[in-house]
Structure 1
Amino acid sequence: MASLLIRTLLPLLAFIQGCLVLSSKIVGGRPAIPHSRPYMMSLQILGNHVCGGTLIHPQFVMTAAHCINRIHPALMMVFAGVHDLKNPESSWQSFSVQRFYTNGYDDKQILNDIALIQLERPVTLNANVQVAPLPKQGQSLPMGTQCLAMGWGRLGTDLPISDVLQELNVTVVTFLCREHNICTLAPHQRAGICFGDSGGPLICQGVVHAVDSFIKDECASQKFPDFFARVSLYVDWIKDILRSVEQEEKKEDCQSSGSP
């Protein structure tokens, strides 16, 4: 039974990591200072990193919808406090998944490519694990804004993923972009996102403004910008989910304690 499950999952894992358009990486970046991005999460299947995510609440991780599309929650583990994927540290915290939330994801048009992962228990917040702030609903991000992309994705289209978290300074651009996306380029260099970084954050002015969604052509081609899902379109939806879960947990606590 176990071998059958592994044979079933391995092609799916390869699809997630190698999808031509969706799974992204950092090309031409630099290693992040260890634990300097404490909101960064690693989504893993069978012990393999498949996507990034952002901690936005002690029990919720924001990622790309395509990262969890067609995946059963029981198959995924989420890791916090990670810098080097190959070198476990005392800072690591691991979590199974309680539930996935999506908002009308369209995999053909790559629309609404955002998802929430409810962890089976809250993380322990400390110096190495922190929550990233969200933008305001509808908040714009002007062209030319300087941002930071990050992830453990491939270091080149035909290269393996990075064991160490990489980051890259990028600039918001509007050419060839779509209204519901935020697009970026790394000016004057062959650098950008690529396979394995999907779901990771785009941090601008200290706020997680976008989620790594997709690329066109090859990684860091400079022919097209890199595409991110615009988080400000979904802030009310996110807050509604967080509020409903908190209310449900309070109700369960009251019932278990016998309070009216």
Structure 2
Amino acid sequence: MARSSRLHSLVPASFLLVLLLGGAVQAVKIVGGREAQPHSRPYVASLQLRGIPGSHFCGGTLIHPRFVLTAAHCLQDIPPHLVSVVLGAHDLLSPEPEQQKFSISRVFQNNYNAEETLNDALTMPPFPQLGRPASLGAQVALAPLPQQDQRLSQGVQCLAMGWGSLGTRAPEPRVLQELNVTVVTFLCRPHNLRMLVPRRAAGICSGDSGGPLVCDGVLQGVDSFVIRECATGQFPDFFARVSMYVDWIHTVLLSAGDEAGPQPPSAPQPAQHPSH
């Protein structure tokens, strides 16, 4: 269980924030969502244990032919050489012709703080076993990145997705699930985005970790953690805010040299909204 016991130092007057984050748990299921249209989210990735069918444990997002963005805690206790990154998937238990599988060459991490769940983002170069980049097309495509430090205002509609189980005692789905969520900005830390499903119990939980949060077609968040339990209808879900890491992402790509190829696309700067 990931805890944020020192978060009160950032908001010393807020006892409520300490109370909420005292029960933070890392994000395995989308609860109350729906099946995505097959291959309609071509940037979403599945992280699996190599050689073990049906062993999905985290999600990710393709942001470059050789790089996937996921959550830092997804690989905290698993050696990268034991992980396969699967792109182009919808049904994880079916040998779909669209699927592409890659091994991980190396991992870049940005000052991840497990205790406070800060900087819970991680880029990985998922090199295919044959040493080629991902083959891009209709079923495998890049997610646009936001502008550095771009903010989202209260009420913005976004989409979360993943292959986690459908409930506490429900089986895991074979196919990709997605869920409409809404931005809330009350007591929001700069490193995180907070999402809520109004008027019903729905949300992410521990296995959708690392999956994308997409707002207006742009990758804005990485599934990170929830408060106490999944889909309570009382507390929002937390996502790592991708816009804080865009400059770092480009630095990683430059450090990879010619091997990385062109940089990932960034979305045009939208109209400014009040920030949190």
- Write the distance in 1 (CA, Å) between the matches of 2:241 and 2:81: 28
TM-score (norm. length: structure 2) = 0.81
SS in 2 for 1:220: coil
Tell me by how many angstroms 1:195 deviates.
2.4
The superposition leaves residues 65-85 of structure 1 with CA deviations (integer Å, 9 ceiling, x where unpaired) of 000113211100000010011
Distance 1:246 1:122 in 2: 14
Question: What one-letter code is carried by the residue in structure 2 that aligns with 1:216?
Answer: I
User: Which is helix-richer, 1 or 2?
Assistant: 1
> How big is the shift at 1:247?
3.7
Question: What is the rounded CA distance, in whole Å, between the counterparts of 2:36 and 2:145 in structure 1?
Answer: 22
Q: Per-residue deviation at 1:248? A: 5.8
Aligned residue identity for 1:128: Q
2:119 alignment counterpart: 112
Aligned pair 1:184/2:195, yes or no? yes
Question: What letter is aligned with 1:33?
Answer: Q
Give the count of matched residue pairs: 231
Compute the displacement of 1:180 (Å): 1.3
5+ residue gaps, structure 2: 1-23, 262-276
* Range with bigger deviation, 145-154 or 67-76: 67-76
What corresponds to 1:44 in structure 2?
48
Worse-superposed segment, 114-123 or 103-112: 114-123
Moved more, 58-67 or 22-31: 22-31
Q: Are the equivalent residues in 1 in contact too, given 2:253–2:260 (CA < 8 A)?
A: no
On the 8 A contact 2:104/2:125 being kept in 1, the answer is yes
Q: 2:98 aligns with which of 91, 96, 102?
A: 91
Q: Which runs of 5+ in 1 are unaligned?
A: 1-19, 251-260
Residues 209-249 of structure 1: per-residue CA shift (max 9 Å, x gap): 01000001111102210000000000000001112213466
Structure 2: distance between partners of 1:167 and 1:137: 26
Q: Deviations over 1:112-134 (max 9, x none)?
A: 00001112231000110000000
C-alpha contact (below 8 Å) 2:206/2:225 kept by paired residues: no
TM-score (norm. length: structure 1): 0.86
Secondary structure at the aligned position of 2:214 is classed as strand
**1:121-200 aligned within 5 A:** 121-200=132-211
Mapped partners of 1:180, 1:119: distance in 2:
25
The alpha-carbon deviation at position 157 of structure 1 amounts to: 2.3
Distance 2:191 2:207 in 1: 22
Would you say the 8 A contact 2:27–2:205 is kept in 1? yes
Give secondary structure in 2 for the equivalent of 1:98: coil
Identity over the aligned pairs, expressed in percent?
58
116-125 vs 129-138, greater mean Cα deviation: 116-125
